[in-house]
Amino acid sequence: MPDKPKKSNKSKKCIKCDKSVYCSDLCSEHFKDYFEKKIKRTIKKFDLFSKKDRVGVAVSGGKDSTTALYVLKKLGYNIEAVTVDAVIGNYTKKNLENLRKVCKKYDVKLNEINFREEFGSSLCFIKSVAQEKGLTYSSCMICGVLRRYLLNKYAKKWKFDCLVTGHNLDDEAQAFIMNVFRNDLILAKRQGPVSGSGKANSTKVFVKRVKPLYLCTEEEIIKYSKFMKFPVNYEPCPCREGAYRKEYADMLDAFEKKFPPTKYNIVQFFLRTVHQMKEKDIDKEADKDIEIGKCEKCGEPCAKKICKRCEILGALKGEIKTKK
């Protein structure tokens, strides 16, 4: 299994040459080569996209999406970058500056979408109004829902065949274990190297979202990004509210340290089990109707009568205006 992360090397020498280990039992040069090949193999293995496709890469200015952007460009894919600025003060300002630099350097078109232009407000303002109204939405929930909505809307408008996200092996292992702990088969089924609802994908309602870093660990991505000296922000977002998720991350890190490669094994288990299940069997097992319908207000695909975005903006009616 070539994509399996390697165990720690006691001799601290690269397994391919005499140089010292940089990451994954390899020196920096061999690691770089291994890492890029792993992404190439992941794209082929899961049939994510081809050289003929117009690929939108959702970028945030962080290490994951910047790495995905650079490697896909290097591999010769037809890519454009798309970023959604939630207007989180200096944090997103700095990220945007970095993204503009990266895209200029590697000659990739950068498409910018902005919360203020779309909704008339920054994330922080939307959050504060929501709080005043007694809503319990976290910043990350609001940010995630609104960003996904905008990315899908513009990916369709700009006719991308798919949208790349920077999710990595750690993200996927955490998400799967969270769904196991919550016994949420429907959400678990929506994970995977190609995500979104299968039914909706088939009718082109959701632009397919794909994850070329699916088999790359967080550690590998940090090492690669630092080796490449990408101008990225390694600091966490100041609005981050992920205490619950962090508990899973810490738990898996502890297991990984003691029993590697725990995260890889979790993801492989998912791929061999839940990922292979058919939608109808999931419906039966979950005893729920997951028919994807349309939001009564905006017509976007959703599982309930009203999509979350309309719920959020509807609750804030009169204070937030959406762009028609």
Question: Which residue's CB is nearer to ligand SF4, number 141 or number 286?
Answer: 141
Binding mask 226-265 for Zn ion (x = CB under 5 A): ----------------------------------------
Neighbours of 249 (CB within 10 A): 16
Q: Which stretch binds ligand SF4 (CB under 6 A): 76-84, 155-163, 235-243, 287-295?
A: 235-243
Q: Is the omega angle on the peptide bond into residue 236 within 30 degrees of 0, that is, cis?
A: no
310 binds, among ligand SF4, Zn ion, none (CB under 5 to 8 A by kind): Zn ion
Separation in Å, CA 28 to CA 34, 125, 204 = 10, 44, 41
SS3 per residue for 209-254: EECCCCCCCHHHHHHHHHHCCCCCCCCCCCCCCCHHHHHHHHHHHH
| Contact call for residues 171 and 219 (beta carbons, < 8 A) | no
Q: Report in angstroms how near the CB of residue 190 gets to ligand SF4 at its nearest.
A: 18
The correct pick among 295, 312, 313, 316 for binding Zn ion (CB under 5 A) is 295
What gap in Å lies between CA 144 and CA 148, rounded to an integer?
6
Q: Applying CB under 5 A, does 297 fall inside the site for Zn ion?
A: yes
| Contact call for residues 118 and 96 (beta carbons, < 8 A) | no
Q: Which stretch binds Zn ion (CB under 5 A): 1-9, 14-22, 249-257, 258-266?
A: 14-22
Binding mask 77-96 for ligand SF4 (x = CB under 6 A): ---------x----------
Q: Report in angstroms how near the CB of residue 14 gets to ligand SF4 at its nearest.
A: 35
Separation in Å, CA 174 to CA 24, 186, 243, 250, 271 = 21, 16, 13, 10, 14
Footprint of ligand SF4 on residues 179-218 (CB under 6 A)? none
Q: Applying CB under 6 A, does 99 fall inside the site for ligand SF4?
A: no
Q: Which stretch binds ligand SF4 (CB under 6 A): 104-112, 207-215, 224-232, 233-241?
A: 233-241
What one-letter code names the amino acid at 80?
E
Q: What is the DSSP letter of 274?
A: G
Which residues of the chain form contacts with ligand SF4 (CB under 6 A)?
A: 86, 139-140, 143-144, 237, 239-240
